[in-house]
Amino acid sequence: MESDGQPYRAFDVYNLGRYERQWWQRERLQGFDRDHRRVVLGFYRADPLPNPTAWLHGRKGGAFVYVDSIDSLLTRDEVRAVAKAARQAGGREVHCLAWEFEMDLRMVCQEIEASEEVRIRLITIPREIMEKNRTAPPPFFEVAVLEAEPVIKKVSGKKKVDIQLKRFIPSLAEVPSKELAALKDRAAKDGFDFIDFWAVDFNWQEEKPFEHQWQDYRTRKDRSLKTTSDAFFDGYPGKGVYKACIKVVDIFGCDTSTIVEVNYD
């Protein structure tokens, strides 16, 4: 697409304000983040620790619980610190509750779990806990799982790269309660059915906008969806290890991303 003879450039959309949570914190919690953690632990049916630390706030069953700040993004550095603290406290599992998560965090957790020998669950805090007069706990769901891998083949003597989706389990955080039972098993067995759109940036670079270099999506007339791209990408400047970013939008309108390394040698 072009405008005035100039091609459009890629862009990202950023959330400039988490206004609902900020209002809730100011009006209902008097601005205290410790009160936010107390409320979240209560709805999660977790017991607050008598002496909480910066990284461990509660326990649920045999697992420690960490509740991220109300106005922040859960990062890999935080998760690493939480897992280390749980291990040092004798824990084998920790639940990290947050409103938002750093991209590709689930994949990074695999490495942290292996190094710290602590199972990590990433759980979205449901916005329903902010509802006035709510007393019944809403359901808490783990973040979506997206796995993919590069497919490298030679075409006419030249290497071409594509991406194959290997696994997708959507988060059901946005699903109405009355539909949950019907969708839980289906989501675990046929996760690809929940993908509405996906795209690939074959040469993704941090701090730069995502480039839609290939994409596929369902339409009203055609509900089929490719699970392997057919871009035959060969735009790398030379031999090396590159990063491809894969973005998925599910039928609930939620975005999930992951990054895979492409050894182009």
How many residues are present in the chain?
Answer: 265
* Whether 172 contacts 187, CB under 8 Å: yes
Position 46 pLDDT exceeds 50: yes
* Whether 124 contacts 139, CB under 8 Å: no
Cβ neighbours for 182, distance < 8 A, ≥ 6 positions apart: none
* pLDDT confidence bin for 26, thresholds 50/70/90: low
Strand 93-98 relative to strand 63-67, pairing = parallel
- What mean pLDDT is reported for the chain? 86
Position 174 pLDDT exceeds 80: no
pTM exceeding the 0.85 threshold for the entire prediction: no
Task: Give the residue-averaged pLDDT of 99-106.
Answer: 82
Share of the chain above pLDDT 70, in %: 86
CA distances from 121 to 37, 101, 104, 208 (A): 17, 12, 14, 29
Position 130 pLDDT exceeds 50: yes
Position 35 pLDDT exceeds 70: yes
Task: Give the residue-averaged pLDDT of 194-214.
Answer: 93
pLDDT digits (tens, 9 = 90+) for 82-98: 999 999 999 999 999 99
Strand 93-98 relative to strand 119-124, pairing = parallel
| CA–CA separation, 124 and 101 (whole Å) | 9
Listed residue (198, 181, 213, 215) closest to 250, CA to CA? 198
| Residue 251, number of CB atoms within 10 A of its CB | 14
pLDDT of residue 16: 39
Set out the domains of the chain in order of their start, with CATH numbers. 19-141 (3.40.1350), 144-264 (2.60.40)
Position 31 pLDDT exceeds 60: no
pLDDT digits (tens, 9 = 90+) for 241-254: 999 999 999 988 88
Tell me the one-letter amino acid at 204.
Answer: W
The residue ranking higher by pLDDT, 130 or 160, is 160
Position 67 pLDDT exceeds 50: yes
Position 19 pLDDT exceeds 80: no
Strand 2-3 relative to strand 6-7, pairing = antiparallel
Task: Give the residue-averaged pLDDT of 42-47.
Answer: 96
Task: Give the residue-averaged pLDDT of 43-64.
Answer: 96
Task: Give the residue-averaged pLDDT of 23-35.
Answer: 58
